Every structure is written in structure tokens, then in C-alpha cells.
Chains A and B, each alone.
Chain A
């Protein structure tokens, strides 16, 4: 009977095309608006590395001023970045399974081909474990090893796009690249890798593109690489050299660890506390012990990657969907009442109330499905508009199968809900009242 009901639904839709179009349009617009905002929200709040988000932790140490907290609004919070020398020390302890210290820098790349011009590219300056820790996929080659890092060898891992730009997408491992007057050997080329949100650096933008290339942290001192990301300081210090900057109390290094299990969290915090207690003896870390580690989802919450505005917007857009559904209820009622003569005939010929009810609900479900399909097209347009308005990287706001199925599911279920009252009304019309007058 389901196939029969679907067939009848399409016939009924064709019978009154304007009414059908209005119903489909109401659902499509409702779905288009609500799913656009929901998709953005879903993208913003999705777990970017679900397979190990409980084992990756951002590290914070409270090295801030003894006179006031780092964040007046959240005084319990320590600075979300470390000083360079604290990061270097923690790296040297290698207490976790893996650990990375990193920051964002920019370098001028000299042309590979004579006809090209020099250009600036953004690099993540990081330590060896970055690639293994964050499951970065490689097309060619690999990252660098600890020996290379320790020796401050100039190697570079290129992003896929930069490799295409410089080497036409070919395997460039072993090729050389000159940046800031230093020749870098290409160690690897990574494949498309777009963790969204960019969990390892929400401080400098959770929805920024990943870096175009990666170079060893040990080159910081050698090349005097400066950060193009955020840095904070609280202490008045005289800084006249790069070395003084590296040894200052300014916080500008992001630090992540990977633990064997989430259960190792307490032990690692104890390790941080031991380190800080040692530093206290040297006159640093004058605030009470306040060292923490945050797993990926906690880190996203910490930085309010999903702004409250986004939640409000999702709520408002679903209210709009409700308004569209109220319109659909009115249209459905009109449409169903318009065919009460046929319904009465079917009742006379043996259809039970349940059969009629089911037939009407299948019809609104088909209308909902049609509205959902058009709504998906509107969502695609909406997401492109958002990318354009917010100047997001192309493809950043994606509409995956989960959201496609969610959109269709919401369209079908909501239209079925909208059809409940009209279907109930029409199946309760006494059949005898309509048969004589048809």
C-alpha cells in the first residue's frame, strides 16, 4: 500500500500544482534557512579529530602577573599560550607520548622558476611530533625526525596547494626552496587536511585555513623567526635582542601533548606543577598553582569556537521553520478539505480512517521530501553566500551526508507533523455527506 500511497500522492500533487508549489516552497525556504544555520553550527561545533580528541591536550601554565589574572572575566584561567623558554623546557622533558610547541610565522619564498616573483607564505613553526600527533596525511615524503629538529636543519613540509604552486603538484621531496635567504630541503608534501575547526590554533582563528607549510621549531632561534599570531605580555621587560624576546615572559607558543590514555591527565598536570614549583624557586610563576590541560573539545569550549550568537541564530532559524510549517498546515488543510469528496468516496469503497490518514500523511511526506530537496539547493546557495560574506576559505563550510540526511529527515518529519491535523480532519469527515454532492 505504501507504493500505492506514494503514487496517489504524486497524482494529488499534480492535480493542484499551484497549491503544491506553495507547500513545497514553504518547506524548502524553512529548510533552506534552518539548515544553513544548522550546518554552520554543526561545522563549528564538530569534533575535528574524533578518533583521538580525548588523548590530545592543550597545555596552559599560569605564568601571569601576581597582581591580576590573565583574564579578568575568567580569573580561574591561565594564559592559553606559553613562553618560548617554558615550551622549550617542556619539550625537552618529553613527558607525554608526544608533544608539540608551535607558532605561526611568515616567510618570503624566493621563486623556483626564473619567471616567478617572490611571495609571502605562512608557515607553522613546530616540533617533530606535529604530523604524527595530529594524523596529518602525506602525499609525498614525511615530516622531519628529532635529529633534524635538534640540529635545526632547514627542512620544510609543503601543503598540497603550495606544492602545486611551486612544483606543479609533482613529488618535490628532495627539492630545494629558498626562504629568507636560507635553502630549505623539501621533506614532504601533505595531502588535503582541513581539520575544522582548526583545533590546534583556535587562538589565531578556528576557521582559518591550515598553514601553507611547516618548518622545525628549532629554526626559530637560528632564523630569528617572529610570530604573526597573537602574543601577550604582562611584565615590563627590556628587550633589545631576539634572544631576550625568547627568554621574556611574553606568551606566544601554543603547546599540545598526546597522552597514551585520557587517564594520564592527572599525572601530566602533576608533572606541570612540579615544573612550575621548580620555576617558583627561581622567582617566576608568582601566582598560585594553576596549570591545566584541556582536551580538544574542552579547548574548543574554552575559546568559544561556537559563539552564543550562532546558537541564538540556529534557534531563530528553527522558529522560522515553524512559521513555514504553520503556513504549510494551512495550505495542507485547504488542499485536503478540497478533496474531501474523493476521500469520502474512498471511505465508501472500503478505506478505513487509518488508511485515509496514512494516505494523507504519505502525501505530505512526499511534499516534505520535495521541499527538502529544493531546500538542500537553497542551503548550498546559503553556504556559498556565507563563505563569500565571511571570506572563508573555499570548501570550509561543507554540507556532508549527515547534514543532507538530516535536512531531508527534518523536512519529511516536520511536514508530516504539519499534516497531522489536516489529515485527522479529513479522515473524520462523514463520507455520506459528500457522496451525493460530488
Chain B
């Protein structure tokens, strides 16, 4: 699904050069749930930005879904993000004066889905995250955990192949973090590839594979669980959504 080879990213100012990623090579298979860990400044967010086609890089190759995306134009990168990638951010990044329906509608608008299709996708996504009854609410009327579930609904509404999450539980208390995590596991169980960037070892331990970054390089890779050991999540289309039960 995602194959980065020898990626190098350098941030330059007039005075200094910062090597954010040094010949980083990472491969994520389709359907995997991978966690990238590392301390602050280790290059986690830079990796996520490059993986999400939000930033370019100096050297290396990046194959996304089998296609070399290193030299895509800005418009092509936008279209790729819109069609193939779902983003979840630590601070939710909901637009405050749009209600939940309208927030989830944003990427679907850019994808030019027909109106009825958009409506059906939004309603389904909100049902999945257990917020179908709140679609006319504004983000400020929700708790942090609920806001992150809306962000997840926005990410899944377009049925992306790859979901990138940057510290998705970083701003949540333990209970809410647990709800969000279980929701991500549901989505993964439905077949979406998920890459999470976190320095929360508890969260990382729920992934199939952990990749630890230090100074922009992969320090080690480990698999905390075999596929069989991963807690089975409720399938998206089967029974009550897990989030709704919480």
C-alpha cells in the first residue's frame, strides 16, 4: 500500500539545515495497522505529511498504492489525498462554524460526489461513529472524544484506502481515547490500511506492527501481536457499531 525508499527530507532556513528524515525506508502492506513511534523531533509528523502528500521530499521514492507519487503535480496530489487518503489529526481539525454534516461533507464536495450520494455517505459515516443524531450540531457542542469521532467519520466517508492518524488520542482522556481506538480498530477490521503516529506506547501496542523512529531513521520494527492476537473488532457492517455501544 505504502512503500517509501530512502526518503530524505531537509528543512532549510537561512542559518541551519534540519534533516527531518534520513534515508527512511518504510513499507506498509495493504490492510495493515501500523504505528510509528518516537520522541519529539524524531520525524514522525514529517513522515505522516509526506505519506499524506502534504509535503514533498528531496530524495528517495514513494509508491502509494503501487504508483510513484514522487513527481505528482500539486493538483494531482490534492486529488490523491481526496480519493485515497483519510486524515485524523490530534486536534480534530473540525471547522467550527460548520455542523457535523457539513464538516464531513467537505472532502466529499471536493470529490464531486452527487448530492444524494454525499448525504448517504455522511449519514452512514455518522452512524458508524455513533453520532447520527447529532448531525446538525456544531463541533463546540460536542466533547473532545465526540469531535474526534466526527473527524474519523469525515475520514471514512470517502472510503479511503489509507488512513493516516497523527496522535489521534493525544488530546483525549483515557476513556475517550479507548473509544476512538476501538473505532479505529473497527475501521481497520473493515479493510482500511491505518498508519498511526504516536508516542503513546499503549496505543502503539494495539497496532499490528510498530516502527520506531529516531532522528529521522527507522530504529527498529517489531510486531507486538500476531494477527491472531489482535483483539477482534466488530465489523463495520455487522451489528451495532462499537462506538454506539460505549
Which residues on A are within 8 Å of B, measured CB to CB?
Answer: 1, 4, 11, 14-15, 341-342, 345-355, 430-432, 435-436, 438
Contacts and interface: CB of A to CB of B under 8 A. Distances in A.
A11 B107 CA distance: 18
B71 interface: no
Interface stretch (B91-99, B183-191, B226-234): B91-99
A348 B164 CA distance: 11
Given A4-B109, A432-B49, A438-B93, A349 B87 contact: yes
Given A345-B93, A346-B106, A435-B93, 9 more contacts: A11-B97, A348-B81, A349-B107, A350-B82, A350-B83, A350-B111, A352-B74, A353-B74, A430-B54
Given A4-B109, A431-B54, A432-B49, A348 B87 contact: yes
A355 B154 CA distance: 19
Nearest to B90: A436
A351 B97 CA distance: 19
A348 B163 CA distance: 13
Name the residue in B74, B79, B166 with the highest tally of chain A Cβ atoms < 10 Å from its Cβ.
Answer: B74
B159 to A, nearest CB: 13
A350 B45 contact: no
5 contacts: A349-B106, A350-B83, A355-B78, A435-B89, A438-B93
Contacts of A1: 109
A17 B106 CA distance: 23
A355 B107 CA distance: 12
Contact of A351 (B45, B52, B93, B110): B110
A402 B110 CA distance: 38
Interface of A is mostly: helix
Interface string B168-204: 0000000000000000000000000000000000000
A352 B80 CA distance: 11
Nearest to A1: B109
A352 B75 contact: yes
B75 A438 contact: no
A4 B83 CA distance: 20
Contacts of A436: 45, 89-91, 166
Contact of A345 (B78, B79, B95): B95
Interface in B143-173: 154, 166
Nearest to A342: B95
B55 interface: yes
A438 B91 contact: yes
B174 to A, nearest CB: 23
Contact of A350 (B79, B91, B98): B79
A349 B91 contact: no
A11 B97 CA distance: 7
Interface string B65-89: 0000000001100110111000101
Nearest to B75: A352
A272 B83 CA distance: 82
Interface string B33-56: 000000000000100010010110
B97 A14 contact: yes
A49 to B, nearest CB: 53
A355 B97 CA distance: 20
B143 to A, nearest CB: 18
B97 A350 contact: no
A343 B240 CA distance: 36
Nearest to A15: B97
Contacts of A349: 81-82, 87, 106-107, 110, 154
Name the residue in A14, A355, A431 with the highest tally of chain B Cβ atoms < 10 Å from its Cβ.
Answer: A431
B79 A435 contact: no
B147 to A, nearest CB: 12
Contact of B107 (A350, A431, A435): A350
Contacts of A353: 74-75, 78
A438 B91 CA distance: 7
A438 B78 CA distance: 20
A349 B78 CA distance: 8
A348 B81 CA distance: 7
A192 B121 CA distance: 63
A303 B226 CA distance: 98
